[in-house]
Amino acid sequence: MPLLLLALIFVSCEETKEATKFDNWRARNEGYIDSLKTVFDEKTDPELKAFEPEINPKLRIYYKKKISNDTGAIPLYTDSVNVFYRGSFIFGETFDQNFTGADPGPFDSPTKFVIQTFITVGGVSGWAEILQRMRVGERWLVYIPWELAYGASGTDDIPGYSTLIFDMQLEEILDE
């Protein structure tokens, strides 16, 4: 009898895994992109736009223009640019940013990026696609599928299969 009681204690004390914010992460991120596809295809949000990136035309990058500038210059693949950005996960948590308020302010500094390094050195290849479609002065809210972000492996702070959402403003093309 004592042995049976001891066995019951061990079974009842078995640890249960608590849910985390990244459970079912791949499925949730793919579902998020699928929901954007549905909204886009059914035209239920007229502000939502999409394009097929040259690097992988089977995918789509979705975006909304928050600020338009029909006369701004468009950077080339070989250009360096200054960008304000805030990156977040599909559940809204910010993972990186270079401005802290609702909008970039006078004390915020844009970050310099060389567009081609997103492809040649690694990183969010979707950024290279987006920046070559933006005009200086424009601000977009972009939705980058995990295949055009950090892929299946992720980074130290961003799990694999992460769809990334960026609020980004193309500040200037740098002369170099």
When mean pLDDT is compared across 22-36, 53-67, 121-135, 147-161, the lowest value belongs to: 121-135
User: 43, exposed or middle or buried, with CB in 10 Å at 0-12, 13-18, 19+?
Assistant: exposed
Mean per-residue pLDDT, 43-62: 96
pTM score of the predicted model = 0.87
> pLDDT per residue over 20-36, tens digit each?
899 999 999 999 999 99
Contacts 24+ apart (CB under 8 A), 132-135: 132/74, 132/75, 132/76, 132/77, 133/51, 133/74, 134/74, 134/75, 134/168, 134/170, 135/68, 135/69, 135/70, 135/71, 135/72, 135/73, 135/74, 135/170
> pLDDT per residue over 108-137, tens digit each?
999 999 998 877 666 789 999 999 999 999
More confident residue, 35 or 11: 35
User: Around Cβ 95, how many Cβ atoms within 10 Å?
Assistant: 14
Mind listing the domains of the chain with CATH numbers? 24-174 (3.10.50.40)
Q: Is 170 left (phi over 0), alpha (psi -120 to 50) or beta?
A: beta
Residue 46 has pLDDT above 90, yes or no: yes
